[in-house]
Structure 1
């Protein structure tokens, strides 16, 4: 199709695609947080020298997390097509793309959580235990509150990564800005669409990073 697309048409296409991208990023971000946060806590407390040592479980979960982190996301997109169809009923569209995006992101976030908890002052943990607190007191009264700035920074980094994942999901018809860039920009040789999608993606990434950095600085200042 060689018809020139007017800027008004491009604007409407970009707005629709941006909405789809935000939908994918926010929904996948929620699932990533729900899965990755407790998984990261589990990795931290189940170490051989952790609060609740479970070396075998830690090794198994850690191995699965490392496998998830080592697979290129493009390969994962294709490999998870059967699972996506099973869970959602289709492999096309923004909702379907949330499945591989989440699976690709939560192992990364779990390691971020584990590393953030590792930075908490061990003296505070020992103080809670000495006062008769159990493992859940340590997790909810010390670990998570003390690691909150690092966790917020990790969430920001993860959201930026999710924006990139959502763009790559366009390869398999996942919708959003990546799908728009491929179908209208690349396949139809339309540089205007390609330029517009790149600009919007840059704005999204910069906005998320700027907001996240501001929240981290604000929280660190209060503390």
Structure 2
């Protein structure tokens, strides 16, 4: 108990700040990525050959752009777009400085997950609504999105967990959060206890999010 108390006295405040920063990075980046990724996923589905807004050029263009971004490891993307990040937000370090690369990394991932979820919807159900003369925008919301809610939630859960892993890597450029704490103190200064605690906290966070996502998806599937 004495050792735990001593550790908390020395590192408690730093760990708490790192946890807050991790939540800030994840929350802000995820919110923006969802606003970009979900419409992109819907557009990928609607512009496919044979779909309501079939457009080969748009579909292939989106496909290529998303594949290119997804093929670049986050750590490389992080350094590659540093000038762009600085131009957009005025800095390339700290929580603010990693939001742009986190969004660029996560949005295409969400778009792919959204596309997969929507394509699982029974084609017969969609055709039934279209046969009744219901407009495409209503079919998107009341059929595609509603019928695939469970899969969308599971997809967003996976994307969030992947995003948390990316925030940890952002510590290499002083992005803040648990990854930055583990790198600066756990690795560079050989504070092994700090490394262990940050790893345990990340495991708890990921497990909690996965359990929450599974429960929400199961509940939506029953509705």
TM-score bucket of the superposed structures, by smaller chain:
over 0.9
Counterpart position of 1:148 = 149
Return the TM-score normalized by structure 2.
0.95
CA distance in 2, matches of 1:6, 1:161: 29
In 2, distance between residues paired with 1:184 and 1:7? Answer: 15
Instruction: Indicate conservation of the 8 Å contact 1:128/1:137, yes or no.
Output: no
Which 5+ residue runs of structure 2 have no aligned equivalent? 1-5
Runs of 4+ in structure 1 deviating by more than 2 angstroms, as ranges, are: none
CA shift digits 1:40-85 (9 cap, x unpaired): 0000000111111100110001100000110011100001101110
User: Aligned ranges for residues 165-204 of structure 1 at < 5 Å?
Assistant: 165-204=166-205
- Tell me which residue corresponds to 2:58: 57
Cα distance in 2 for residues equivalent to 1:185 and 1:47: 48
Q: What corresponds to 1:83 in structure 2?
A: 84
Q: Kindly report the root-mean-square deviation, in angstroms, between the aligned alpha carbons of the 2 structures.
A: 1.0
Shift of 1:9: 2.1
Contact 2:69 2:105 in 1 (8 A): yes
Superposition TM-score, scaled by structure 1 size: 0.95
Alpha-carbon distance in 2 for matches of 1:155, 1:26: 12
1:10 paired to 2:6: no
What secondary structure does 1:199 align onto?
helix
Give the structure 2 partner of residue 69 of structure 1.
70
The unaligned stretches of length 5 or more in structure 1 are none
| Structure 1 residue matching 2:128: 3-state secondary structure | helix
